[in-house]
Amino acid sequence: MSTITSPSIAEAAVSLDGPIAVAPVEARVASSAAMLLADVSLLVRPRIAVMVLATVATATWLTAGEIEGRMLFGLLLGTALVASSSSIANQILERQTDQLMPRTARRPVAAGRMSVGTAGGIAAGLLIAGMGIMVLAAGWQPAAAAAATWLIYVVAYTPLKRMSPLNTAVGAVAGALPVAIGWLAADGPRRLAAGDPASALTAAALATVLYLWQFPHFMAIAWLYRRQYAAAGLRMLTVDDPSGLRAAGQSLAAALAMVPVSLVLAVPSGSVPMFLAAAAVSIVYCGAAVRFAVRRDDDSARSLLLVSLGTLLGLFTAAVLFGRPETRTGHDPSHQITSTSPDSHDTDTLDFE
| Calpha distance 43→111 (Å, rounded) | 12
Low-confidence ranges of the chain (pLDDT < 50): 1-17, 327-353
* C-beta atoms surrounding 262 within 10 Å: 30
Q: What angle (nearest 5°) sits at the alpha carbon of residue 142, between those of residues 78 and 120? A: 45
CA-based nearest residue to 56, from 83, 22, 93, 95 = 83
The phi, psi pair for 3, rounded to 5°, reads: -110, 125
Q: Would you state the pLDDT for residue 242?
A: 94
CA-based nearest residue to 142, from 319, 333, 339, 350 = 339
| Calpha distance 88→240 (Å, rounded) | 27
The phi, psi pair for 161, rounded to 5°, reads: -60, -25
Strand partners, 349: 338
Q: Please tell me whether residue 68 adopts helix, strand or coil conformation.
A: coil
Q: Would you state the pLDDT for residue 347?
A: 33
Task: For CATH 1.20.120, list the domain ranges present in the chain.
Answer: 197-333
**Second-level CATH architecture of 197-333:** Up-down Bundle (1.20)
Q: What type of residue sits at position 189?
A: P
The string over 181-193, giving b where at least 16 C-beta atoms fall within 10 Å of a residue's C-beta and e elsewhere, is bbbbbbbbebbbe
Q: How far apart are the two ends of the chain, measured CA to CA in Å?
A: 99
- Give 87's DSSP letter: H
| Calpha distance 143→127 (Å, rounded) | 10
Per-residue pLDDT tens for 250-291?
999 999 999 999 999 888 888 899 999 999 999 999 999 999
CB 82 within 8 A of CB 134: yes
Strand partners, 338: 349
| Calpha distance 20→136 (Å, rounded) | 52
Whole-number Cα distances in Å, 246 to 52, 165, 219, 231, 237: 28, 11, 10, 20, 7
| Calpha distance 147→184 (Å, rounded) | 13
Superfamily designation of domain 34-186: UbiA prenyltransferase (1.10.357.140)
| Calpha distance 169→222 (Å, rounded) | 13
Task: For CATH 1.10.357.140, list the domain ranges present in the chain.
Answer: 34-186
Q: Is the pTM of this model over 0.85?
A: no
Q: What type of residue sits at position 196?
A: D
| Calpha distance 283→89 (Å, rounded) | 36
| Calpha distance 351→353 (Å, rounded) | 7
Per-residue pLDDT tens for 291-342?
999 999 999 999 999 999 999 999 999 998 987 755 444 444 334 444 434 4
